Structure 1
Amino acid sequence: MSTTENKQDKKIAERIWFAFFVIFTLNIAAFTLIAMLMQPLWYDINEFLISMLNSIG
């Protein structure tokens, strides 16, 4: 391999890692936002799940 091919491979690898990092960061941000918006409803969700489990058993 020549040095230009090595540089191209390194550049492609850097782009792949950068894309992975961006996707991961956006997923964490979305999860955090959803969790923050759902916080006032946690009690209602808990009661709903308890009632569903009680209706099964």
Structure 2
Amino acid sequence: MTQTKYRQQGKALLWKSEILLAKNTYLLGNSVTVTDIGIMPFVRPFAHVDYDIFYSLP
């Protein structure tokens, strides 16, 4: 798989998370769940791979 494909998959994951967070305080509702805790370590590395691309995303 190419870097572009991985970036697209990461972008899709972040976008889905944003949609959920627009509706709720946490990903699955108004209480923190294992889903919120489990995904946290993966979001920050997206930003560190390529700052310019990450911060240009909506």
> TM-score, normalized by length of structure 1?
0.41
> Using CA pairs below 8 Å that are at least 6 residues apart, which structure has the higher relative contact order?
2
Looking at CA atoms only, which structure, 1 or 2, has the larger radius of gyration? 1
- Which structure shows the higher helix fraction? 1
> TM-score, normalized by length of structure 2?
0.40
